[in-house]
Amino acid sequence: MAKWGQGDPRWIVEERADATNVNNWHWTERDATSWSKSKLEEVLVGLVVEGEAGRCEISDLKHVEGEASCNSRKGKLIFFYEWNLRLSWKGTVKESGEKHKGSVEIPNLSEENEVDDTEINISKKKGEGDVLKDLMRTEGTTKVRQALRDYLKALKTGKLNQYVRYVFYSDSVLPQSLDIVGVKIPTVKIFMREIFNSSADELYSIFTTKELVQKFSKCPAVIEAEKGGKLQMFGGCVSGEYAELVPSQRIVLKWRCGSWPEEHYATVALIFKAMAAQTELQLECKGVPVSNEDSTRQCWKKQYFEEIHILLVVYSLLQYFLRLL
């Protein structure tokens, strides 16, 4: 090995005081798990399989377990992914009109195997209708494999990859795929989901009622829940305004953290999906500065979601004890 000051300078990576990863020589990793879960649901759920026997459709992504990441070392991109998936399908026999249900198991989708070699298991609930099971085993398996290829293509060549390439390779060029909101800085879009043990009405109120916001945030707040109304939370660390409000269904915010570049705002959409005694909250945060992606996720997870869960538990206990009186 050449001593310092000797050899070809192209192969020397200096330690820099500003910690810049010059030419992306050192290992860098970006988590793609959350994005992948959304993308897998997008490409698989709603997939239709039709044939002479009847018609089937993948109705739900029942189980998704695993992780994915985009990594860089010595200027090369390396992708890791490992997934265990279980899907539900439903179908109708063409001749009899009988309806049947079943599942699709994909136990090991990973970079270690080609998509054509990935195991895909088709099953059906008890009863007649094996013609639909056969249809899913043949045409269905082919379509599922194509959907998996679409996911991998998006992972490696789509917006996520272009964003990663920007982080890894560019000090000055801003890819066209990055979302720009307000001040022209490189940004990303965050998507998160959370299930709450409350009705959509209750959860909507927690985001639009000053007293409830102050309870879960544990700080004074400015909440003007109307179009154009101001929003200020966590001692001014979060601010913005309400852009759209559809009671119990949707809230759109112009939203920023105090540490972001001045006058730069993200667009936050909160979608409330009622689910029996629960509500799924879908969060899309568009325009987050690249350097603040992780801290923004943690803000929503720790300061919003976890604290709201605690508030709902306290409220539930209070209601219980009031009924006992």
pLDDT at residue 280 in the model: 95
**What is the predicted pLDDT for the residue at 163?**
43
> Residues 263, 267, 270, 271: what is their CA dihedral angle, to the nearest 10 degrees?
170
- Containing 129, the helix (H) or strand (E) segment is none
Q: Which residues contact 127 (CB under 8 A, 6 or more apart)?
A: 100
Residue whose entry in the numeric block shows the structure tokens 């490189």: 186
Burial class (CB in 10 A: 0-12, 13-18, 19+), 196: buried
Give the pLDDT of residue 19: 41
Q: What is the pLDDT of residue 198?
A: 93
Q: Burial code of 2-13, b = ≥16 C-beta within 10 A, e = fewer?
A: eeeeeeeeeeee
CA atoms within 13 A on the CB side of 221: 25
Q: Please tell me whether residue 199 adopts helix, strand or coil conformation.
A: coil
CA-based torsion, 35, 37, 41, 44: positive or negative: positive
- In order of 38, 145, 203, 322, the CA distances from 247 in angstroms are 25, 40, 10, 28
Residue ranges of domains in the chain, CATH in brackets: 28-169 (3.15.10.20), 187-324 (3.30.530.20)
Residue 72: predicted pLDDT = 64
Question: Structure pTM?
Answer: 0.47
Contact yes or no for 140/122 (Cβ under 8 A): yes
Q: What are phi and psi of 300, to 5 degrees?
A: -70, -40
Q: Which two tokens stand for residue 289?
A: 């500065």
- CA-nearest of 317, 324, 42 to 191 is 42
pLDDT at 162: 43
Give me the pLDDT at residue 69, please: 82
Two structure tokens written together for 320: 């219980």
Burial class of residue 235 (count of CB atoms within 10 Å of its CB; 0-12, 13-18, 19+) = exposed
| Per-residue confidence (pLDDT) for residue 207, from 0 to 100 | 97
Note down pLDDT in tens along the chain; length 325 residues: 444 344 444 333 444 344 444 444 444 567 788 888 989 999 999 999 999 999 999 999 999 999 988 776 655 677 889 999 999 999 999 988 899 999 999 999 998 888 999 999 999 987 666 899 999 999 999 999 999 999 998 887 654 444 444 343 333 333 444 443 443 578 889 999 999 999 999 999 999 999 999 999 999 999 999 999 999 999 889 999 999 999 999 999 999 998 888 889 999 999 999 998 899 999 999 999 888 898 999 999 999 999 999 999 987 777 666 667 6
pLDDT of residue 2: 42
